[in-house]
A and B are shown apart, each in its own frame.
Chain A
Amino acid sequence: MSSIRCLLKKNLKTCLNVNTRSVLDIFSSRAVSSGNFVVTEPLNFINGHRVECKDACEQFQLEEPATGDVICNMDGSGQRDVDEAVRCAKEAQLSWRATSGFERSKIILKAANLLAKRKEEMARIEVYDTGKPIWEARADVQTAIDSLEYFGGIASALCGQHITLPSGSFGYTRREPLGVIGAIGAWNFPIQMAGWKSAPALACGNAVVYKPSQFAPLSTLFLGEVFQESGLPPGLYNVIQGGAYTGQLLTSHEDIAKVTFTGSVQTGAKVMKSCADGIKYVTLELGGKSPLILFDDCDLESAVNATMGANYLSQGQVCSNATRVFIHENIYNKMITRLIPRVKSIVPGDPHHEDTQTGPMINTAQAEKVLGFIERAKKEGAEVLCGGELVTMENTALKGSYISPCIIRASDEMEISREEVFGPVMNVYSFQTEEEVLMRGNNTDFGLAAGVFTRDLNRAHRIAAKLEAGNCFINNFNVYPVELPFGGYKKSGIGKENGTQTIEYFTQLKSVYVEANPVEKII
C-alpha cells in the first residue's frame, strides 16, 4: 500500500509518521511547489518489492529539474540485479501465460482504475521527475490509464486463425506470448511509456523488466505499486534502475525475448545490435525532425494553435514534435506575426503551479546542448525570431535550466534543420509549391511524424499519402489516441505501439497443421 514516500525537507517528522499515507495527502495539505521532495525508499522494484541494488555498478544523483536539487542518490543496477529481476519475471510469466485472457484483463483493468484514482499523486511525481507543467503531467498519466484500459480490453480477445485445407485437413494459428520483455523508457514521457509498453506486454501474457531513464526513474516505480495493489502477481512487472550499462545488461540477457525501446537513434542502434546477437524481437521508437506543412488555404487560427502544440509542450522535449514548419509564402508573414507573440507569451515557471505553461529542461546538459544548437545555427546564418535564451528565474529556488521558447528562421541545409534538437526550438521555412515542400519535408533521415494544414480535400489526402512518416496528421498535430498505431518510418524506428497491431509485437505466432487422412508412403 505504500507509495513513494516523500520527505518534506522542513517537516521531516510529519512525513515519517505518515508512511502509509499517499503523497497526495501531503500535497493536499499545502500548496505544492518545487523544491520539497526527497526519496528515501529503495529504487528497484523486483518481484513485487522495493529493493536496494545488490550489485551497484555506478552512482547517480537524481536531480529535480525545476530546482537542480538532489532528490536522492541512486545506484545503477549491475549484473546480479538484472539477473534477479529477469529470473523472477521468467518464473512469474510461466503461470501468467497460462492465466486466461479474461483474468489478465480483470487485473489490468483494476490497475487502470487504481491509477485513475491516484492520478494526481502520479502526476506530481512526474513533475518532480521531469519538470513538465502539472497539467501536462496529468494528461500523460491519462494516456497510461487509456493504454491499460485499451489493452485490458484486448487481453481476452486475442485470436489466431483457422484455415480450411483440402480433404478435411485444417490448420490453425495460436498467438502466444514471447516471454520476458525488456523495456527501456526515455525521460520525457516516463509514465506514458511505462503504460504504452507494459499494458500490451502484460495483456499478451508476457512479463516485463523495465529500465526507466536514470533522469526520470520514479513514476515507473509508482506504476509497479499500482500493479501490485491491483493483484498482478509479483514478478510480472519489475523495475531496475540504471543507465546505459544497465540497459546493455538487460538487452543482452539471454532470457529476454524482446526489447522495446524509446530513446535516441544512436542508442536505438546499439539496442538493435545487442538484440541481433541474441536474435531478439525489437521495437524502437526513436527521434524525429518532423515537418508540418501549412498551405495558404488553411484555417490560420487552427494552424497557429496546432503549431504551438506541436513544438512547445514538455519544453520541446518531444520526439514527434514538428520542429520544421513549412509555411506557404502567401501566409508566411501572417503566420509569423501571429506566432511570435504566442511564443513570447510562454513564460517559464514553477512546473507545479497550475498556470505555468512551460518548465525547466530535464537537466543542465540538455539545456547546454539545445543552446549549442542555437548558437551554431546563428553562426550558419539562421535568424532567431524570438527566445532561445537561458532564463534566470525570479524565484531563486528555481535553479534549473530554463530556456525561453524559440523560433528560428533557418534554411534546409543547416545543422538545426537536420539534427534533432530536443528543446523548445521551432524552425520556420517558407515554400511555394506542393511538389517543392514535399521534397523538402521528406528530405530527412527521420520519419516519425508529419502534418499538413489545408482545406483542400484532394491535397490533404494526396500529401498524407506522400509523406514519409509513420504518423501523419491532416489539420492537426501531435494527437495520439491509443486506438491509432504509433511508430516511425526510416530512422525513427521499427514497429508500432498502440492500436490492435501492437498485439503482433508482443506475441509470436504458432501454426498447427491437423491431418485428417492416413499418411501415405512418401519415401
Chain B
Amino acid sequence: MIIISRYFQQISTVLKYILIMDNVKAEVHVVQNFINGTFVAPTSKEYMESVNPSTGGVLAKIPSSTKDDVDQAVKFARKAFTEWSETSPQFRSKVMLQIADMIEANAEELAQLESADQGKPVSLARRVDIPRAIYNFRFFATCILHEVDNVTQLQGPSRAMNYVERMPVGVAGLISPWNLPLYLLTWKICPAIAFGNTCVAKPSEMTSLTAWKLAQFLQQSELPPGVVNLVFGFGASAGEAIVAHPDIPLISFTGSTAIGQHISAVSAPFCKKLSLELGGKNAAIIFDDADIENCLATTVRSSFANQGEVCLCTSRIFVQRNIYSSFVERFVRMVREIKVGDPKDPKTTMGALISQQHKDKVMSYIKLAREDDGKIECGEGVDKLNLPAHCQNGFFVLPTVVTGLTTESRCLQDEIFGPVTCVVPFDNEAEGIAFANDARYGLCATLWTQDVTRAHRVARKLKVGTVWINCWLVRDLHMPFGGMKMSGVGRESAEDSRDFFTEKKTVCLKY
C-alpha cells in the first residue's frame, strides 16, 4: 500500500513538473514594479523583452523603469523606514523566516523560472540558487537575534561609560547581477532589512523573473509595504537613478568592475557607503602532490559551473610542470564529458550563456586565444555542439580549454565570465604564487596540495579575498566574502554586512 501511494506520488510530481515546464514555455510573463507593497506599471508604460537564453524566444516583458519610478520607490522606502527601523529584531526575524518558508514551498517553480530566465541547468538552480536564497533569509533572520556590541568603562578621573548604539542607515540601493539572480538579490535584501533598513532593489534587466516572484511572496507575508521595493529595468536608467539618488545613503552592487568604477564615481559626491563585489580572474594553483582525483573533479566544476558565469569561477589554472601534461590530458577528457544542452533536460550539466552579446564577447576571447598562439584543447572550434531543435537559437558555447598562452595574454588578464579556462604550467612555488598574483583582480583562488606547511604558507601569500584549499565554493556566511584589488570594496558576512548596513554610534556617558 505504501509502495503504491509512493508510486502515485512520484507520478503526480512528474506530472506537476511537466505542467510547470509547459507553463514556463507557453506563458510570456508581464513583470511589474513592486512599490509600497503593490505591483505597478512603470510610469513610462514602456516594457522591454527578456529572452530565454536557451531558445532565444521571449520569456517575459520587463518594465523599462526610469528615474520617476525610482523616485516613487525611494519615497515609500523612506516612509516605511520610520517604522521598520524601530521594529524589534524578533519581529524582523519572524517575518523573514516566514518569507523563507514561502520560498521553500515554491522552490520548484522558482528553480524552473530561474533556469528559463538565466539559461542555467534547472538541476543547478534547484540544487544551488533557490536553496541559497532560502538560507540567506534564514541566516540573517537568526543572526540578528544575538547581536552585541562593546561597552567600556573609563575609571579614574574621566569616569565614564561608553557604549555603541547601532542605527540602521536608511534606504539601501541594491543592484544585483544576472548570473545568480535570486541568490545574489536575496544576499543583499536579507542583511539590508534584517538590520532595519528599507531598500530599493534593481535586479538585472536580463533576469527579473524570480525577483518578481519573490515580490509576490513579500506581498503575502507580514512584511510592511515599502520595506522592500523592486524597480526593474536597465542599469543606465533605473540603476543610475538609484546610484545618484540623494536619499539613498548606501549602495550595494555586485557586477562588473567597469560598472563598479562608474558607481563609485557617481556616488562619490554624496559620500555614500559602498559595497562593491566586482569581477575576478581566479587562479587554481595545483601542486604535484595534490589529490588529483578530487582536484580534477572540483576544477572542472569551478571552471564551468553556471557556464563559467560566476565571479568565483576559476579561469586560470596553474599546474606544476611535472604533472602538467597528464593534468591537461585528463582535465580535457573530463571537460568533454560536460553535457551542453537544454537546461530543462535533467542530463544537461551546462546551459546557455545569458545573451547573444555575452556569447559574442566570450567567442571573441577564444578567437584572441588563437591569435596569441594558444592551443584550443577542447571546446569551440574543436568539438561539435549538438543541440535539440528548439535550442538552435540559444546562446550556447562549448566549455573551452586553452593552453600555450603566457600570463600576459589578455585571456589570462581579462575577466571573460564564460566557459573558457586557460591552463599554464609553473616550475616552483614562487612562480606559482607570482602567476596567481599577476592579475588586476583579487577575488578568490583555489590551492591544491597535500602538504600542510605549504598549504598555509601559500595561502598567506595570495592576494585574494578567499583562498579555498583543496575545495571550491564551500561557504560559511559568518566568514568575510569580498575581493582585493579591482575585485571590489568591502566584505560581506554576518559581521561585515552588519557593519555595512548599520551606522555605529558611540554614546559616552560621564557619571
Q: Do A and B bind each other?
A: yes
* A464-477 vs B, Cβ < 8 Å mask (1 yes, 0 no): 00000000001100
Q: Tell me, in angstroms, the Cα distance from A99 to B156 when the chains sit together.
A: 5
Indicate which residue in B88, B150, B451 contacts A161 across the interface (CB closer than 8 Å).
Answer: B150
Interface pair A103/B452, CB less than 8 Å apart:
no
Q: Which of B160-168, B480-488, B491-499 is the interface stretch? A: B160-168
Q: Tell me, in angstroms, the Cα distance from A350 to B450 when the chains sit together.
A: 46
- Chain A residues closer than 8 Å to B386, beta-carbon distance: none
- Chain B residues closer than 8 Å to A161, beta-carbon distance: 148-151
Q: Tell me, in angstroms, the Cα distance from A101 to B155 when the chains sit together.
A: 7
Is residue B90 within 8 Å, beta carbon to beta carbon, of the partner chain? yes
Residues of A464-500 whose CB lies within 8 A of B: 474-475
Q: Tell me, in angstroms, the Cα distance from A98 to B155 when the chains sit together.
A: 6
Interface pair B147/A100, CB less than 8 Å apart:
no
* B77-96 vs A, Cβ < 8 Å mask (1 yes, 0 no): 00000000000111000000
Interface pair A173/B470, CB less than 8 Å apart:
no
Is residue B102 within 8 Å, beta carbon to beta carbon, of the partner chain? no
Indicate which residue in B90, B147, B156, B164 contacts A103 across the interface (CB closer than 8 Å).
Answer: B156
Interface pair B449/A174, CB less than 8 Å apart:
no
**Distance (Å) between the CB of B152 and the closest chain A CB?**
6
Is residue B455 within 8 Å, beta carbon to beta carbon, of the partner chain? yes
- Chain B residues closer than 8 Å to A170, beta-carbon distance: 163
Q: CB-nearest residue of chain A relative to B456?
A: A457
- Chain A residues closer than 8 Å to B157, beta-carbon distance: 100
* A76-98 vs B, Cβ < 8 Å mask (1 yes, 0 no): 00000000000000000000011
Interface pair A455/B152, CB less than 8 Å apart:
no
Is residue A461 within 8 Å, beta carbon to beta carbon, of the partner chain? yes
Interface pair A160/B469, CB less than 8 Å apart:
no
- Chain A residues closer than 8 Å to B434, beta-carbon distance: none
Residues of A281-336 whose CB lies within 8 A of B: none
Indicate which residue in A99, A100, A160, A457 contacts B150 across the interface (CB closer than 8 Å).
Answer: A160
Q: CB-nearest residue of chain A relative to B154?
A: A100
Interface pair A166/B90, CB less than 8 Å apart:
yes
Q: Tell me, in angstroms, the Cα distance from A98 to B158 when the chains sit together.
A: 11
Q: Tell me, in angstroms, the Cα distance from A461 to B471 when the chains sit together.
A: 15
| A162-B453 contact in complex given A100-B155, A173-B151, C-beta closer than 8 Å | no
Is residue A456 within 8 Å, beta carbon to beta carbon, of the partner chain? yes
Is residue B38 within 8 Å, beta carbon to beta carbon, of the partner chain? no
Is residue A28 within 8 Å, beta carbon to beta carbon, of the partner chain? no
Q: Tell me, in angstroms, the Cα distance from A457 to B150 when the chains sit together.
A: 37
Q: For this complex, into which size category does the number of interface residues on chain A fall?
A: 20 to 34
Residues of A158-195 whose CB lies within 8 A of B: 158-164, 166-167, 170, 172-174
Interface pair B469/A162, CB less than 8 Å apart:
no
* B442-485 vs A, Cβ < 8 Å mask (1 yes, 0 no): 00000001111101000000000000011000000000000000
Is residue B153 within 8 Å, beta carbon to beta carbon, of the partner chain? yes
Indicate which residue in A162, A164, A457 contacts B450 across the interface (CB closer than 8 Å).
Answer: A457
Interface pair A460/B88, CB less than 8 Å apart:
no
Q: CB-nearest residue of chain B relative to A103?
A: B156
| A172-B452 contact in complex given A98-B156, A166-B90, C-beta closer than 8 Å | no
- Chain A residues closer than 8 Å to B149, beta-carbon distance: 161-163
Interface pair B148/A163, CB less than 8 Å apart:
yes
Interface pair A162/B165, CB less than 8 Å apart:
yes
Interface pair A474/B88, CB less than 8 Å apart:
no
Indicate which residue in B155, B165, B452 contacts A456 across the interface (CB closer than 8 Å).
Answer: B452
Q: Tell me, in angstroms, the Cα distance from A100 to B150 when the chains sit together.
A: 17
Interface pair A475/B453, CB less than 8 Å apart:
yes
Interface pair A174/B151, CB less than 8 Å apart:
yes
Interface pair A100/B156, CB less than 8 Å apart:
yes
Indicate which residue in B153, B156, B453 contacts A160 across the interface (CB closer than 8 Å).
Answer: B153
Is residue A517 within 8 Å, beta carbon to beta carbon, of the partner chain? no
- Chain A residues closer than 8 Å to B165, beta-carbon distance: 162, 164
Residues of A352-394 whose CB lies within 8 A of B: none
Interface pair B154/A457, CB less than 8 Å apart:
no
**Distance (Å) between the CB of B82 and the closest chain A CB?**
15
Interface pair A460/B452, CB less than 8 Å apart:
yes
| A457-B155 contact in complex given A160-B150, A166-B88, C-beta closer than 8 Å | no
Is residue A266 within 8 Å, beta carbon to beta carbon, of the partner chain? no
**Distance (Å) between the CB of B36 and the closest chain A CB?**
26
Interface pair A457/B451, CB less than 8 Å apart:
yes
Other A-B pairs, 17, CB within 8 Å; known A160-B152, A458-B470: A100-B156, A100-B157, A158-B153, A159-B150, A161-B148, A162-B148, A162-B149, A162-B164, A163-B148, A163-B149, A164-B166, A172-B163, A454-B452, A455-B453, A457-B450, A457-B469, A474-B452
User: 7 closest Cβ contacts across the A-B interface?
Assistant: A100-B156, A160-B151, A100-B155, A162-B163, A166-B88, A161-B148, A460-B452
- A sample of 28 cross-chain residue pairs with beta-carbon separation below 8 angstroms, ordered by A number, consists of A98-B155, A99-B155, A99-B156, A100-B157, A101-B154, A102-B156, A103-B155, A158-B153, A159-B150, A159-B151, A159-B152, A160-B153, A161-B149, A161-B150, A161-B151, A164-B166, A166-B90, A167-B88, A455-B450, A455-B453, A456-B450, A456-B452, A457-B450, A457-B451, A457-B469, A474-B452, A475-B452, A475-B453
